[in-house]
Structure 1
């Protein structure tokens, strides 16, 4: 069984740690790479991307990236990956010293978008949001989740732009008006839903997109992506599902009872189509998670699916 989006994301960071040529090979023509400081590299023609990235690396701006957790977006072929960025310390001034200093570790988040063939279309890096340096953006996020935690429809409508969307899964979306969004949230709010607290926020210099990761481990996945307009109103909310929960569903599909698969799907796991199931060396036809679950159950235990 291959969960292709998370695997593609991890393969990208493996290439990053190996060579700039391998990174360029994964990018589709016309793709872009945006760093958290606002720098952007565009693949306008062969070789330009490789040279620009190599120049940046030669200037000491190359980190070793280790993917820690992958979140699959409810919108498009996109992964948000929590990454440990390890930047080597500058060389010691005295060459006689044995150690140049400690490696500097910092968390960051990468957004990777893929085309249908698996080529990388766009990569964006987000660093931890400095709330002291960006109090306005941090305030918008705090206000949004305060309203969410109160489950107050009127307050939620007031923090959404007149034209806005929420993407909760591959098949569950609400918009394009703030009224539609509120109706969607009202259908989603349940008593057992964990409040949005203890958030780690990631953003890019000059940008108005914030990636919020919950520090505590709750019953639901903990990656949410918010876009704001100049007035601080939310124009888009995107839910991204943790890979570990996708693996839970994958395991249930292969080894669990049909009822267990249905329970996980009903809890709100995205019904992603970008999944391949291999049985006895042959790939089953694609479809939603539930389609694939039903196919595999029929293959393994005929007549057992209700």
Structure 2
């Protein structure tokens, strides 16, 4: 059988500098069954996880089912050629595919055409095995750097959105995300409830246990909140000091009252071990619900100018929750106040 790749005459075997090959699956797209099978076996022997298909249409189906960071694609194929597949994949920005064109073309203008179509690299069929591996490994190195950059981007984003002490979302995230939450609620006519929680007598905690004890109390308080709300639906941010905002999407006022009472009871029941002592907390809550509470309600000391409410539902919702939190404090703390 014809060997479609030549071995390196210097070593007699392929050259490899990357050990991460199994983490970067390869999709091989080629209508030549002999080339496809030989290339598949060779790449698998070299440690790559490879799937092979015979045409670009089947490749598109496989790509929808699974992400292939590396794609080896023949240029000349019936119906849809490799250039068209490259162009289609590049119209979808995420996730990124490192595409190497397999071609018998070696004309400079044609190579430029292939790269302009979206290919990252090319290799002429009939070349050495070591060259194929080197080009694939080059793609792996680039993809590794891309992953590292994405991780760093996410870390920077986390730092920008999170409170450094507790890990809760910060006020900037609240302002940005709650606006989107309320717009979604308005579009789909869904309720959104907001709880404003404040640890009772937190200054006394700091005075008695020091700021390290206060920090432990804040972190423990957040964990209790998170343990008693819906995962990946509800979310918590640190509003300032010992105040936290709990956002409950698609939650009516009565349901939110039940959640608030559950949170209040959980805070009251928890114990925090700090050094050789135990810290216990209570918290007060104020509840407001969009859109029902953003109307004139004479029972609350809130402005009933409807035009103002329409202009800033976020500010008005938080103000109403804050006023109701204040009433919880006035009524003895360790309470929930809604309508």
Tell me the TM-score range normalised by the shorter chain.
under 0.3
Quick check: which one's helix share is greater?
A: 2
Could you say which structure has the larger radius of gyration? 2
**Superposition TM-score, scaled by structure 1 size:** 0.20
